Amino acid sequence: MNHAYVYPAQGFLGFELCTALLEEGWEVTALDSGREMGDHWMEIGRNANLHWTSYAEWDRVVPSGSHVYLPYYDQEDLIKGKEGETLMGKAAYTIRVFSHFQDPPSQNPGGADIYVPTLIGPRQPESYLFARLLKDVHEDEPVQDDPTGVIYVKDAARKIVSLAGGKGKAVLHLKGEAGWSEAWSLLTEAGIPQMEAPKIIRGKEVSVTASKNLEGIFNEQLKEAGIKKGKNSFPYSER
């Protein structure tokens, strides 16, 4: 059986990578930095192929032929720390996932580096504008949104898992016309804010087919957060 390690597994994308791997029949070791396994893991149910452990308690053994998934997208601190590099050094193959704003901490000659735009869906962190709009949160802290596009986090995770075995750089984009500005217009009538332009990544272009429309994805986010709101009822920039 194929074995994959995901670190950090509790993050927004990390959790979905674990789920996508389990759907494909992989054995998954979910690693994180000492936190308890969250309630949302109950969504997966009983699965003998899922093994949860904190990074501190992990035995540091990666069986031969295993794959390692490092969603740097979830955690900027992962780039600064050594845990990801330690895991990469033990793996036969590593997939690292970045936003267009992040720079790899090292080379990955034996694996793949995948770049994704803004990911949306349940448990999207409030460091993203869409999550702030949906939850009516008003902060002055910078946001992480990449205005080049949006992808449903579950679709992105499944596509990333399907790319296992490839090497080099790949850039995911949503197939079709839906984009970041269209998603914004569904939530508010306020003008689109000025945002930092991400750097252009040169790599293989990989299209992702959406399994849900934007309204369905945002409704899922609202349901997960226990919020009931209507279109344009909470314009972000008017507060």
pLDDT single digits (tens) 195-217 = 888 989 999 999 999 999 999 99
Indicate if the alpha-carbon torsion angle 90, 31, 44, 133 is positive or negative.
negative
Looking at every residue in the chain, the average pLDDT score rounds to 87
Q: In degrees to the nearest 10, what's the CA dihedral of 66, 155, 45, 62?
A: 10
Contact residues for 44 (Cβ-Cβ < 8 A; gap 6+) = 18, 19, 22, 50
3-state secondary structure of 99: strand
**Whether 112 contacts 84, CB under 8 Å:** no
Q: In degrees to the nearest 10, what's the CA dihedral of 129, 100, 93, 43?
A: 10
- The pLDDT, as a whole number, for residue 229 is 58
* Higher per-residue confidence, 238 vs 100: 100
**Whether 154 contacts 19, CB under 8 Å:** yes
- The pLDDT, as a whole number, for residue 239 is 31
Query: pLDDT of 221-239, one tens digit each?
Result: 998 877 765 544 443 333 3
Tokens 């934007």, residue?
214
- The pLDDT, as a whole number, for residue 177 is 67
Residue 57 CA to residue 80 CA, distance in Å, equals 21
- The pLDDT, as a whole number, for residue 234 is 40
pLDDT-based confidence at 21, cuts 50/70/90?
very high
146 pLDDT above the threshold of 80: yes
